A and B are shown apart, each in its own frame.
Chain A
Amino acid sequence: MTTNELLFLVFAFGLIAWFVGRARAASFISSETPIINSLPNYHGWFASLWAIIPAILFLIIWINISPALVTNMVLSNPDAASVTADPFTRSTILSEARAVANGSSQVLFQEGSEKLVPLYKAAQSYYNSIAFAATLLLIFAGSAYAYTRLKPDFRARSKVEKVVMFALLLASLIAVLTTVGIVASLVFEAYRFVTLVSPFEFLFGTNWNPRDNIVAGEDNGYGAIPLFWGTIFIGAIIAMIVAIPFGLMSAIFLTQYSTPRFRSIMKPVLEILAGVPTVVYGYFAALTVAPAVRDFAVMIGFSNAASDNAMAAGVVMGIMIIPLVASMADDSIAAVPGAMRDGSLAMGATKSETIKRVLLPAALPGVVGGILLAVSRAIGETMIVVMAAGYAANLTANPFASITTVTVQIVALLTGDQDFGSPHTLAAFALGLVLFVVTLLLNLVALRIVKKYREAYE
């Protein structure tokens, strides 16, 4: 029996256990005991979960260990003694024989694998029958145990509740565990990078010119400062010069000046803007804004302006971020108690004086938190800078020059051939780790500020 069939079996028995448990509970209800502790459905679920969960846990473990068990059994057979000891050839032979035994392949290439096929078949059927027996045993043991527990005063409801809680906990852990896994892989590869290239050179060097292989005498720079600078220049400086004033002003207009009707239209529109795929902003930056910026730069005397320039990418990124800043600022301004505003207006302050002197100072922490979140979003943004900012690692403050960012270089390093032994590929992971740490810190600080501020008024 394959694992799928076993799974089907488990769930079929689970269903049966549900009906049996439910019927059993229903039989408790009589004229003497008109009310039992839990509704019959809960008894059904209790029985069903006991039938399913142990068997499923067994199957999960089994899937992981059975291939090794099968291989061991095959190799312990005297017929397999002749298989070569070279690990690489050996594993090829074994996997070939396994594929043929499973029926997923017809052809044999390696010498010696042919005689392993019947061994594999025998071992697999042996272990399959063990799995089948064990599964059945667990199903019956589980459901029998559950069945004996069912009584009129049995609290099936709270037992099922515990399982529900556990299932929800598991679901919530998936995101966390994935993050941990990502971090682990980043750290692992970044460590390998650091063994090849000095971390000091990487973090503080100013020459970025990665090559596939380090060759003596050639220019092989892994100094990431130009990348960090480009990221900050585009994401945290140019983009924020655009996003902060426009985002703040639109938030002020929406919360303080617009009619409720206008606000009810504008807010969803802003949110739609936030949902535009970044690649679309990328087109806009590369095809419309960048040439215009270059023409403008040439006009005002920057004859060396590049067609892919920091300005275009930064401005478009800023536009992309406006809804984020606006919505965070909107939230924090709206969270300032109306009594503050009334108090100021009742003193004879105008609307704009009230906003400038009372609402914005009170909302400032929330606004700053929003801006930090926006920065962390901007420096992690990839598509716009790939399309509009270019690949040249220039360390320059000229906004009309071509500049590159961390994300662009990660894309460049991982496009094409990858060799996990060379610093060329591994550098992408080191860059990713730096980016991850920086955005994580920004997010932490931002969330802390926002949270602290919210507590102040509740």
Chain B
Amino acid sequence: MSIYYYLSAFLFCLGLLGTIFKKDLISILLCLELMLGGVALLFILFSKATGFLDSQLLVIFMMIISACEVAIGLSLIIALYRKKQTIYTDDIKIITE
């Protein structure tokens, strides 16, 4: 069971790596999902180790929030694609311009 702790840390760090260096917005959202998966796994492991069921309930709420995040993120990507015809982060310089 203890190997899963390292796995969840690895998933979180790999997701962070992808979020930093990926350039298209869809891949960034995919990597965010990876990070959330790692954290959810950690919550379940803590629930096993400490004996509290609350961590498992937190995982349920995390799933709800990640579903909302993905739905809104993807609809924002579609809206951006309609306006600018791009999904790359270095094409979007609305704030700096």
Real binding pair: no
